A = this chain, B = another copy of it.
Amino acid sequence: MSEIDSIPVSGATALYAIVGDPVAQVRSPQVINALFAQAGIDALLVPLHVPRARFADTMRSLMSIENLQGIVLTVPFKVDAKALVDHMLPGARAAGAVNAMRRSKEGAWEGDMFDGAGLVRALQDHGHTPESKRVLLVGTGGAGRAIAIALAQHGVRELALSDIDHARAQEVAQAVRDIAPNCRCTIAPAAFDGHDIVINATPLGMRPDDPLPLDLAGMGASHVLFDIVPKPDITPLMREAQTRGIATIGGKRMIEGQARAITEFFGHRV
């Protein structure tokens, strides 16, 4: 049994879970466990497929397990999780959803939202701090809303929101204005108009025959395109941007940025 010590889980391991319905598709266990392993931290994130009908009961049970120190929430539980935490941090309140919760030293559960933090972190990693920038964000669904909030929290000067659902875009604009009164937040068409950073937060690009989600005309080498679609690695929109000399960042970088942000929220330096 010589390999026993190489298996990174023991009764003393700090345990985390990602809860979804389903979970077979989630990438967080691989990405976050790789961060734990690289940093030499005795911690493990496991996926739990919790049936929707049993969500609240099961969460209360999980929250009582003494060595379970944090929970990541994924589809369809990010909104329902709000009711379970004792305290919501500002990003979660503004996003209206929780995608990670942790047990505080006092035993209370705190919730926050990192869907947008991952994108901000990826921008920063690529040398594009959002502070004082003009940003066009196309798509204001769950992910787009969280990104809008995170960008506003990180000091973007102007945030233009575009969505075929105008009411939804207006609602997100209001949430942005509430959390960041100094950010000039407007509704705009899905087309470049002198922005520093352009973001696709729609699902367009996942399927090969999707139309391009936005018009890149006028963008060039001094601009950045972020496409949150994680697969394929290079979406048709990113390819189009690259032919114009535009810097591109893909959805995988957002997933990695989010994993690092959540791992730090859980109290680990990675």
**Which residues of A come within 8 Å of B, CB atoms?**
1, 3-7, 9-13, 15, 22-27, 29-31, 33-34, 37-38, 44-51, 54, 57-58, 60-62, 64-68, 256
With A11-B24, A15-B46, A47-B9 already in contact, the answer to whether A31 and B1 are too (CB < 8 A) is yes
Contact A50 B26 (CB under 8 A): no
State how many angstroms separate the Cβ of A175 from the closest Cβ of chain B.
Answer: 31
State how many angstroms separate the Cβ of A36 from the closest Cβ of chain B.
Answer: 8
- Among B24, B26, B34, B68, contact of A7 (Cβ-Cβ < 8 Å): B34
Residue of B with least CB distance to A2: B34
Contact A7 B65 (CB under 8 A): no
Docked Cα-Cα span, A150 to B179, in Å, equals 65
Contact B4 A30 (CB under 8 A): yes
Main secondary structure of the interface of A (DSSP, over half): mixed
Contact A50 B31 (CB under 8 A): no
Residue of B with least CB distance to A255: B1
With A30-B7, A33-B9, A256-B1 already in contact, the answer to whether A57 and B47 are too (CB < 8 A) is no
State how many angstroms separate the Cβ of A20 from the closest Cβ of chain B.
Answer: 8
Contact A4 B26 (CB under 8 A): no
State how many angstroms separate the Cβ of A108 from the closest Cβ of chain B.
Answer: 17
Contact A48 B29 (CB under 8 A): no
Docked Cα-Cα span, A11 to B68, in Å, equals 18
Contact B51 A68 (CB under 8 A): no
Contact B30 A12 (CB under 8 A): no
Which residues of chain B are within 8 angstroms of A67 by Cβ–Cβ distance? 23-24, 47-49
- Among B11, B26, B47, B58, contact of A47 (Cβ-Cβ < 8 Å): B11
Docked Cα-Cα span, A264 to B142, in Å, equals 43
- Among B4, B38, B62, contact of A61 (Cβ-Cβ < 8 Å): B62
Contact B47 A10 (CB under 8 A): yes
Contact B54 A15 (CB under 8 A): no
Docked Cα-Cα span, A67 to B25, in Å, equals 13
